[in-house]
Structure formats: structure tokens, C-alpha cells
């Protein structure tokens, strides 16, 4: 997905062709504001996968605090700790790793109540109310790690990256075994196009739980794609798709499509786009990807 880099800072890129590599942007998806390009049919170099290709396809949600929505957790049964202890924003809300390390102290009742109120406010797209309750939760219990990460994600959605980095860094300091803290920081690094840092942070999250963390593999895949490590990018993307058996993050298939385009593998590229279309539910995104796929199929027939 295209994003321009400042002159003099762009690494050499492999020349490829195809509908995923065009320069104009269309819409943004939740919390990471990743632009989706229009089709132009022009050859291009591999674009940087924008921040949140890690959520990889745009959701068409508006900017601002309305981005701070929580995906419907009822779609897929998850561990009780996820629904009871945290309401992280997309895509971290699908991380199946334990949300609080066993060594963390018990969360006081009032702090938990404030956090739950923040979750309700987030669901209702009331960002200011959510921020107030998250701050109250942290004031009552300064070691409330999920509250720090949720606050950091909320700041990111409000275009406050410094505050977001501070909140998520605090979470990582309080609990070095809390994977979502590193993924929150990876999100911010992706916005800065710091793909080496994205790779480092996603790898750190995977050391904590390599078996359940589809989101971390997706960040890893995007970082490796932008660093032109295509074999590693493909491996990470496939692992993300394998772990996400309930297809709660269908945009990973769009990441894989980009990887296969970079590898000049149009058959697999088309296959991944078809997988995306099976599970995506945003009409705008679906329409654009259908057009991508139609364009790709036309090229194959030439």
C-alpha cells in the first residue's frame, strides 16, 4: 500500500507490476489509518506497506476518536481473560496470548470497574469518556497494564503518537511479558516507517507467545515485506493465517497478496485476494479488492 518516503531515505526496491502497487489512496482502516490505493494499471515499485498493514486492509472507518472502536468479540469465542480483563482495540483484541502475566498483582475492584466503563465508552465510540475512565483506572492502580495499552491505542487513534508511545512503553516496563504492549509500539514504529523496529518489536512479542499471536506474525510479515525479506514475509503471513483459524483478521490475506505480487506469483496473489473476499465484511473494501482481482485476472488472460 503506497506511502511516500522522504527523498534520500528510500531503499532500492524491486520493480513489479500489478494492481496492488498503485500510488493513489482511497480510504483508511481502523486505528492505523492505512490508505488503500486505487487501481491505475501502471507499473510501480513495491510500496511501503503503510502503518497497520498490520491490520492490513482499510475498514473505511472515519478518523479521530471514532476509530477507537472495539470489534465484536461475539464473532469468535475467546479465552475468558480476553473479554473480562481487556478491551484492546483492533487488531490487538484478537491476540489470544494471556493478557496479564501470572506474576501481575490482583487488579483492585474500583480500577477494574473504571476499565470496564472505558470499554463501554469505546464500544459506543465515546473517546473522551473512555480516556477519562482509563485515566481513573490507572490512577487507582498504576500497574494496570491492559489499561495502559488501551490508553496508548486510544491516543494513537487520536493522532497523539508521543502520548501513545509513552503509555505503551509504560506497559512494557511494568510487565515485560505482556505481548500487546510491544505490538502497540510496533504500530507506532510502522507509522514512522521504521520497519526494523517493527520487526524487532514483533519478534519480541513472538518470544512471549509464538503459538497464539497471529497479529505479531502479521506485523512481522509486513516489516519483512518492506525490508524485502520476502521468504520471511511469506512465512510470517502464512503463520498468521494458520493461527487465525476463525478468520477474525482477514486482512492478513491482503498482506500475503502483496507478498506474492512482490514475488511475481500472480496465481498465489489471486488466491489470497479470493481468501480475503471470503471473510471480509466491509463493503467498500470488498468492492475495491474485487476490482483488484478482476484486473489481475485480466492480466493473466493476456
**For position 20, what pLDDT does the model report?**
52
Residue 50 domain flag: no
Closest CA to 97 of 199, 182, 179, 216: 179
**For position 93, what pLDDT does the model report?**
85
Q: How far apart are CA 90 and CA 34, in angstroms?
A: 13
The parent domain of residue 86 ranges over 65-160
**For position 106, what pLDDT does the model report?**
85
Residue 173 domain flag: no
**For position 214, what pLDDT does the model report?**
93
157 by DSSP, 3-state: which?
A: helix
Instruction: Name the helix (H) or strand (E) containing 25.
Output: none
Give CA separation, 185 vs 163, 165, 248, in Å. Answer: 11, 6, 22
**For position 74, what pLDDT does the model report?**
31
**For position 62, what pLDDT does the model report?**
29
Residue 218 domain flag: no
- Phi first, then psi, for residue 3 (nearest 5°) are -155, 130
Write out residues in the chain with pLDDT < 70, as ranges.
Answer: 1-85, 96-104
Q: How far apart are CA 192 and CA 3, in angstroms?
A: 11
Number of structural domains the chain divides into: 1
Residue 82 domain flag: yes
Residue 86 domain flag: yes
Residue 282 domain flag: no
Q: Are 174 and 164 in contact (CB under 8 A)?
A: no
Instruction: At 51, list the grid cell.
Output: 502503518
- Tell me the per-residue pLDDT of 17-32, one tens digit each, with 9 for 90 and over: 344 543 222 222 222 3
Residue 178 domain flag: no
**Number of other residues whose CB lies within 10 A of the CB of residue 245:** 9
- DSSP class of residue 142 equals T
**For position 302, what pLDDT does the model report?**
78
Amino acid at each position: 500500500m503506497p506511502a511516500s518516503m522522504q527523498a534520500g531515505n528510500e531503499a532500492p526496491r524491486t520493480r513489479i507490476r500489478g494492481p496492488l502497487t498503485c500510488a493513489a489512496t482511497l480510504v483508511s482502516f481502523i486505528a492505523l489509518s492505512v490508505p488503500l490505493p486505487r487501481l491505475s494499471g501502471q507499473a510501480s515499485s513495491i510500496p511501503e506497506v503503510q502503518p497497520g498493514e498490520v491490520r492490513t486492509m482499510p475498514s473505511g472507518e472515519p478518523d479521530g476518536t471514532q476509530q477507537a472502536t472495539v470489534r465484536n468479540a461475539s464473532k469468535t469465542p475467546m479465552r475468558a481473560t480476553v473479554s473480562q480483563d481487556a478491551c484492546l482495540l483492533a487488531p490487538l483484541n484478537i491476540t489470544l496470548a494471556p493478557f496479564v502475566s501470572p506474576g501481575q498483582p490482583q487488579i483492585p475492584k474500583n480500577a477494574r470497574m473504571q476499565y470496564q466503563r472505558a470499554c463501554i465508552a469505546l464500544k459506543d465510540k465515546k473517546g473522551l469518556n473512555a480516556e477519562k475512565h482509563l485515566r481513573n483506572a490507572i490512577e487507582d492502580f498504576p500497574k494496570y497494564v491492559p489499561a495502559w495499552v488501551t490508553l496508548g491505542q486510544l491516543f494513537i487513534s487520536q493522532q497523539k503518537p508521543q502520548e501513545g508511545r509513552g503509555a505503551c512503553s509504560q506497559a512494557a516496563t511494568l510487565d515485560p511479558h505482556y505481548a500487546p504492549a510491544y505490538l502497540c509500539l510496533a504500530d507506532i514504529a510502522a507509522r514512522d516507517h521504521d520497519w526494523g523496529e517493527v520487526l524487532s518489536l514483533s519478534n519480541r512479542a513472538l518470544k512471549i507467545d509464538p503459538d497464539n499471536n497471529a497479529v505479531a506474525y502479521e506485523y512481522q510479515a509486513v516489516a519483512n515485506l518492506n525490508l524485502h525479506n520476502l521468504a520471511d514475509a511469506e512465512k510470517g503471513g502464512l503463520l498468521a493465517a494458520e493461527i487465525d483459524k476463525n478468520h477474525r483478521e482477514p486482512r492478513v490475506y491482503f498482506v500475503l497478496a502483496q507478498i506474492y505480487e512482490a514475488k511475481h506469483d500472480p496465481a498465489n496473489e489471486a488466491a489470497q485476494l479470493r481468501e480475503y473476499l471470503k471473510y471480509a465484511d466491509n463493503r467498500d473494501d470488498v468492492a475495491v479488492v474485487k476490482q483488484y482481482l478482476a484486473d489481475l485476472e485480466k492480466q493473466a488472460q493476456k
